[in-house]
Amino acid sequence: MTQETALLPTSPVAGDDHVPLRKVFVKTYGCQMNVYDSDRMSDALARDGYVATDAVEDADFVLLNTCHIREKAAEKVYSELGRLRELKKARASEGREMVIGVAGCVAQAEGDEILRRAPAVDLVIGPQTYHRLPEALKRARRGERVVETDYAIEDKFEHLPAPDRAKTRARGVTAFLTVQEGCDKFCTFCVVPYTRGAEVSRPVAQILAEAEKLVEGGVREITLLGQNVNAWHGTGPDGRDCGLGDLLRHLGEIDGLARLRYTTSHPRDMDDSLIEAHRSMAKLMPYLHLPVQSGSDRILKAMNRRHTAAEYLALIDRIRAAQPDLALSGDFIVGFPGETEEDFEDTMRLVESVGYAQAFSFKYSSRPGTPGAELTGQVAEDVKAKRLERLLNLLTRQQREFAASCVGREIDVLLEKPGRLAGQLVGRSPWLQPVNIDAKQSQIGDIIRVRITKAGPNSLFAEMVG
């Protein structure tokens, strides 16, 4: 460092000398892909001198990264926009600007309808055009009401900044990396094929370069993301077609990268090469999120899942044969149109026979534009609520049983962040459970051997061994 640069202020400065420092507040709803996207958008804005703030009232730009998967998720956004309208007025009365932007799946699905329903919104941007956000924001600041929801022809990942080393460090030792986006499966309940578009895989070299950058920034564990992550496909360095199993093997060669995960998978795309990766790759964590949605063949067919309950169970047997330590997680929908008590009992039976370590269950929510919304036999809300409660009870019991089965085991834990008590850290088990342990701050990022001593409702407790 030269004398001159050492004299510069240490606080962050805008990329352009003429642009004063501005603050952005990003609120993320929904899935992990939105978390990843929010970070990428923040990184893109940082190049224009925007720094992140946790205080919405201080923000010059408020960006909601939204989710459209169920009605409740979408409605939350509009109530938040109502609150922001008041804040924007209050700031305007002090002569300060507040630009309000909506990104994510609500933006893609509803487009300029949002501008009509929420007059305080200045900017609507869909997931395929995030690389255009800095430019769109400039236009919005000049008074234009901007809607960017076209599917861009250019590759947004080429234009978004790669993760920055300092920011990666601040974000911690685990990271998400989107490798695939969109979905061609068209399950009849789901908006994703409409909001995120057709299935697209990022090229191998781009993914490897991003993973290496993350590892340089101190990341030890990467979770590959995609709406249908196991449909990812590309061309390997040898010029041959490859699938997710091969991609994981390439990533496994990065020094310093200790753990790999991927989510979300479709049962139809669990191929032999991926199952083999679970057998042979120690870095690939023995945990799999494999949604089935229902245990009834009739309902699976109506959902266009294109497999039966028996096929799902047989697949799980094959994966467990390759990796006996595998813990499973799933998604379930109760009250899909036409679901009878008997269909629901089939779901309960399937859950009993699989035994999930974790699961997410939802009441069916009719989404405009999906085939499910047109079906007759919509199930009454109180019936859905009762079924959901029964399913949740069973899944919670299974989750507790799984946690209890960990007590007494010796396992590896990746130390992630400070715990609630002084002198404690929180780490992750191979099965994604938070683990509380006495350890020093300087050990964050280490993988240590521990013995599980106790299982709490949402986390495990452990002591170091050796």
Binding-site members are 31, 67, 105, 183, 187, 190
Within 354-393, which residues bind ligand 5AD (CB under 6 A)? 362, 364-365, 367
- Residue 312 interacts with ligand 5AD (CB under 6 A)? no
Chain centre to alpha carbon of residue 242: 24
Write down how long the chain is: 466
Indicate which of ligand 5AD, ligand SF4, none lies near residue 258 (CB less than 5 to 8 Å, by partner kind).
Answer: none
Report the binding-site residues for [4Fe-4S] cluster: 31, 67, 105, 183, 187, 190
Nearest CA to 409 among 435, 385, 391? 435
Q: Which is nearer to ligand 5AD, 262 or 364 (CB)?
A: 364
Residue 132 vs 266, nearer CB to ligand SF4: 266
Out of ligand SF4, ligand 5AD, none, what residue 437 binds, judged by CB under 5 to 8 A for its kind, is none
Adjacent-strand bridge partners of 234: 242
421 vs 309, 417, 439, CA distance in Å?
Answer: 45, 12, 11
Q: Which is nearer to ligand 5AD, 168 or 227 (CB)?
A: 227
At residue 125, φ and ψ (nearest 5 deg) are -140, 125
Which of 249, 326, 316 has the alpha carbon at shortest distance from 283?
A: 249
- Which residues are registered as beta bridge partners of 233? 243
The site partner of 365 among ligand 5AD, ligand SF4, none (C-beta below 5 to 8 Å per kind) is ligand 5AD
For the bound state, the minimum distance from the C-beta of residue 266 to ligand 5AD, rounded and expressed in Å, comes to: 9
d(CA 440, CA 312): 43
> Least distance from C-beta 69 to ligand SF4, angstroms?
8
- Considering just the CA atoms, what is the radius of gyration of the chain in Å? 23
Size of the site for ligand 5AD (CB under 6 A): 12
CA distance 427 to 461: 10
Q: Which does residue 364 touch among ligand SF4, ligand 5AD, none (CB within 5 to 8 A, set by kind)?
A: ligand 5AD
User: Any idea which residue has 């699989």 for tokens?
Assistant: 354
* 333 contact choice in ligand SF4, ligand 5AD, none (CB below 5 to 8 Å, kind-dependent): ligand 5AD
Starting from the edge strand earliest in sequence, which strands make up the sheet with 358-363, in order? 287-289, 327-334, 358-363
Among 435, 431, 428, 432, CA closest to 453: 435
**Spatial separation of the C-alpha atoms in residues 323 and 318, rounded to whole Å:** 9
Binder among 190, 242, 251, 302 for ligand 5AD (CB under 6 A)? 190
Between 61 and 232, name the residue whose CB sits nearer to ligand 5AD. 232
Residue 184 has phi, psi (to 5 degrees) of -110, 10
Closest to ligand 5AD by CB, 32 vs 405, is: 32
Interface residues with ligand SF4 (CB under 6 A) are 183, 185-187, 190, 192-193, 227-228, 266
Question: In angstroms, what is the minimal distance from the CB of 304 to ligand SF4?
Answer: 8
Instruction: Give Cβ neighbours of residue 71 (< 8 Å, ≥ 6 apart).
Output: 365, 366, 367
With CB under 6 A as the contact rule, the residue among 49, 163, 291, 430 that binds ligand 5AD is 291
- Angle between helix axes 272-280 and 244-252 (nearest 10 degrees) is 30
Tokens of 381: 């809300």
Q: Which two tokens stand for residue 439?
A: 């350890």
Burial of 405 (0-12, 13-18, 19+ CB in 10 A): middle
Angle, CA of 411, 249 and 39, to the nearest 5°: 80
25 touches ligand 5AD (CB under 6 A): no
193 is in the binding site of which of ligand 5AD, ligand SF4, none (Cβ under 5 to 8 A by kind)?
ligand SF4
Q: Which does 294 bind (CB under 5 to 8 A by kind): ligand 5AD, ligand SF4, none?
A: none
- Hey, which residues between 63 and 122 contact ligand 5AD (CB under 6 A)? 69-70
Nearer Cβ to ligand SF4 (193/286): 193
Is position 189 an interface residue for ligand 5AD (rule: CB under 6 A)?
Answer: yes
Q: Shortest Cβ distance from residue 447 to ligand 5AD (Å)? A: 30
* Binding at 29: pick from ligand 5AD, ligand SF4, none (beta carbon under 5-8 Å per type): none
Query: Token pair of 186, please?
Result: 């068209």
Contact residues toward ligand 5AD (CB under 6 A) are: 69-70, 189-190, 291, 293, 331, 333, 362, 364-365, 367
